[in-house]
Structure 1
Amino acid sequence: MENPMQHNQSKLFINNMMESAIRIGLLFILVVWTFDIIKPFVIPVLWGAIIAVALMPMTQKLERALKGRRGLAATILAFAGITLLIAPFWIVTSSIFEGISHSIEVLQSGEVDIPGPTQKIADIPLVGGQLYEVWALFATNLEKAVMHFLPQIKSAVTASAAMLGSSLGTLVMFIISLAIAGGFMAHAEKSAAAVKTVAVKVAGSHGEEWASLTAATIRSVLLGVVGVAFIQSILIGSALFTFSIPAAGLFTFIIFILGIAQLPPLIVVLPLIFYVFSTHDSTPATIFTVWVLVAGVSDSVLKPMLMGRGVDVPMPVILIGAIGGMLTAGIIGLFLGAVVLAIWYELFMTWLKTEEQQNAKVEQGAEDSLPSVPVED
């Protein structure tokens, strides 16, 4: 039979367990509720932090030029970034809108004159014959061609409209992120101190070191991924403008996005090579081909040069983290994946060093415990 003391202890245990369960449940509800409230701001704040870390060296240089006016330097960079975002988007959107308006006017007037394909198109391996037939159908009987490819045309228009809407949403998000980045840069010391305090609280003595590693990794990815994509797009874009390729600006922007997404620019370049060979003489077409192909594979040389600079983590680790993070979480995963993998690499190396130090101490202790043998004369 249970004695009164055991009964009281059992009752007290149940009461404490119920009280703890209620507190944990209320705390869980509060955390979930708080996350739902701040969820729309998580991605802009993360991007703002990434942009602030990437632009901090430039902010410090501009601050010195403005005689220590940090807030003005951060504001100028934020507005410059917003302008660089809006201007290309406006140019591309205006170009698309003008092209659609012109196409509608031409279709309404009935004066549609599509030049027929040349024999060079038919001579293209694998796809030449089919491409020649489709092009010839549009050139000779536009109405029949439109009716034949109407489902594909509707799908393409729908996808383009969805892409335009998504691009507009992304543009607004980045504008907000740049504004947040301006705030981070204006109060860089306080922000860095807060991050290091939290890092030390979470990770212990290595927290401050890993906070610095995070900043260095973000700059490395910016140089090795975004920087290489920008250089590639400039190299290929200069060829497109030199040879007067239609919509050269739009193709250059697409190549830049593909470079950030770690996709080969040859996806865009190869069809353009076929177009140039069909519309230009052999010599200029060959020059264009060599130009864009060399620019297309230049990332294999540029990435080892730019990625991993200022970071003790090997370049393949950062590159794998960037690509894997992008496949998991989109563009922002480029930075988050590289940071996470870099920290895990540092954790692994710290563990190896700890093991080596412990083994060295054991060996030293074993040597010290050996009895000394007197040396005879």
Structure 2
Amino acid sequence: MDRQTEQRQSMLFVNNMVESAIRIGLLLLLLSFTYDIIKPFIIPVLWGAIIAVALLPVTKKLERTLGGKRGLASALIVLICITILVIPFVMVSGSIYEGVARTTDVIQSGEIKLPGPTQKIADIPVIGEQLFSVWHLFATNMEKAIQQFLPEIKGFLATIASILGGALTSLVMFIISLAIAGGFMAHAEKISSALETVAVRAVGQKAQQWASLMAATIRSVLLGVVGVAFIQAAIIGAAMFVFKVPAAGLLTLVTLILCIAQLPALLVVLPVIFYVYSTGDTTTTTLFTIWALAGGLSDNILKPMLMGRGVDVPMPIILIGAIGGMLFSGIIGLFLGAIILAIWYELFLFWVNYEEQTELANDDTEPSKQAKSETESH
């Protein structure tokens, strides 16, 4: 090869490399702009897909009842879900607003009177004496107590306002997600077919199996995490309402949020038990304690029963994925984390059993090859 040919090939290589780099750079720039445009819609669309997968079996049953009207069935399911979301939010928000307004009016009028602490409070180990003195100060000299703890009170009120604002934003996001889910459910077959084509193109013939696994995992997490959280909140909330615990509705909502976030319900239950213990008699305290603790610890029985149903993936894999995903990316990570770990588990099993599957495939092909050669010889 002469020097001139080498220079020409070198120039051609450099030109191709520069051209490829420019094309890849333009593609990355286009992807960056596209991501910025669709970023506000990613979370609602993901939630819409998750809700659609979870509620599609219910929609199909309602569709048969309505004579095959899928659109009407989807719209009814969405309206029911929005109603279930909005009514408790309005009730709890109104209760919090009225409570704060009433407390502010009473404090400004100077008519507020708190019952003094009992000796039971002072007898509590470690924190009893300090808690007794603070409670006694609020009961005997409210104005001085407010002045002393004014920064903490302002911080508490700011936290409540922030929580309400975040809850309102989340409510709007969920309503949008439900509307998107309604569209997904109404056209489930077409969307599923299109996604399956793309998935097969991207990851091969295992795409359909993984799609089924993803759908089953979503339903498993919904039942094993959100379903268990609702059951726990219902049991604990019923105990609070029966024993007339103040702000029972708000405490029940906080319990539900904690349980969905995979935090122990005892974070709410134990302070309420302490309140009942300090204000009620022994019988009331015992009954409430048994009831509330049964609800707070019921997830230890319910999760193994409900999580992992319909999925050929061990329950600890689903649970670890759900908790890790939630810690990484919030509530939606409950589902994404479980799905990702389930797929990795299937990939691991495929890798472990690859040689065995290859041998079985070879054993199946050898008789067919032998029969073919015998046919050709005859």
Match of 1:58 in 2: 58
Match of 1:146 in 2: 146
Match of 1:341 in 2: 341
- Between 297-306 and 151-160, report the one with greater CA deviation: 151-160
Q: Which amino acid aligns with 1:123?
A: D
Match of 1:306 in 2: 306
> What pairs up with 1:12-31 in 2 under 5 angstroms?
12-31=12-31
Structure 1: distance between partners of 2:268 and 2:124 = 17
The CA deviation at 1:89 is 1.0
Match of 1:262 in 2: 262
Residue 115 of structure 2 aligns to a residue in which SS?
A: coil
Q: Which amino acid aligns with 2:110?
A: G
Match of 1:330 in 2: 330
> What pairs up with 1:1-377 in 2 under 5 angstroms?
3-358=3-358
Give the total of aligned pairs. 365
Q: Which amino acid aligns with 1:166?
A: G
Match of 2:374 in 1: none
Offset from partner CA, 1:75-104 (integer Å, 9 cap, x none): 011111111111111111101110111112
The CA deviation at 1:21 is 1.0
Q: Which amino acid aligns with 1:110?
A: G
Structure 2: distance between partners of 1:75 and 1:85 = 15
Structure 2: distance between partners of 1:174 and 1:267 = 26
Residue 137 of structure 2 aligns to a residue in which SS?
A: helix
Q: Which amino acid aligns with 1:141?
A: N
The CA deviation at 1:59 is 0.4
Structure 2: distance between partners of 1:48 and 1:354 = 36
The CA deviation at 1:362 is 9.3
Offset from partner CA, 1:190-227 (integer Å, 9 cap, x none): 11112222221121111110001000000000000000
The CA deviation at 1:138 is 0.5
- Between 98-107 and 317-326, report the one with greater CA deviation: 98-107
TM superposition score normalised by structure 2: 0.93
Q: Which amino acid aligns with 1:355?
A: E
The CA deviation at 1:360 is 6.8
Q: Which amino acid aligns with 1:47?
A: W
Q: Which amino acid aligns with 2:237?
A: G
Q: Which runs of 5+ in 1 are unaligned?
A: 365-377
Task: Tell me the C-alpha RMSD between the 2 structures.
Answer: 1.8
- Between 280-289 and 189-198, report the one with greater CA deviation: 189-198
Structure 1: distance between partners of 2:194 and 2:361 = 37
- 8 Å contact kept, 1:82–1:178: yes
- Between 106-115 and 320-329, report the one with greater CA deviation: 106-115
- Between 197-206 and 28-37, report the one with greater CA deviation: 197-206
Structure 2: distance between partners of 1:94 and 1:334 = 30
The CA deviation at 1:184 is 0.3
The CA deviation at 1:358 is 4.2
Deviating 4+ runs (over 4 angstroms): 358-364
Residue 205 of structure 1 aligns to a residue in which SS?
A: coil
Structure 2: distance between partners of 1:83 and 1:357 = 51
The CA deviation at 1:359 is 6.1
Residue 158 of structure 1 aligns to a residue in which SS?
A: helix
Structure 1: distance between partners of 2:163 and 2:60 = 37
- 8 Å contact kept, 1:326–1:333: yes
- 8 Å contact kept, 1:195–1:211: no
Q: Which runs of 5+ in 2 are unaligned?
A: 365-378
The CA deviation at 1:125 is 2.9
Structure 1: distance between partners of 2:59 and 2:362 = 50
Offset from partner CA, 1:268-320 (integer Å, 9 cap, x none): 00111111111111012101101111111110110011000111001111001
Structure 2: distance between partners of 1:361 and 1:299 = 44
Match of 1:371 in 2: none
Match of 1:375 in 2: none
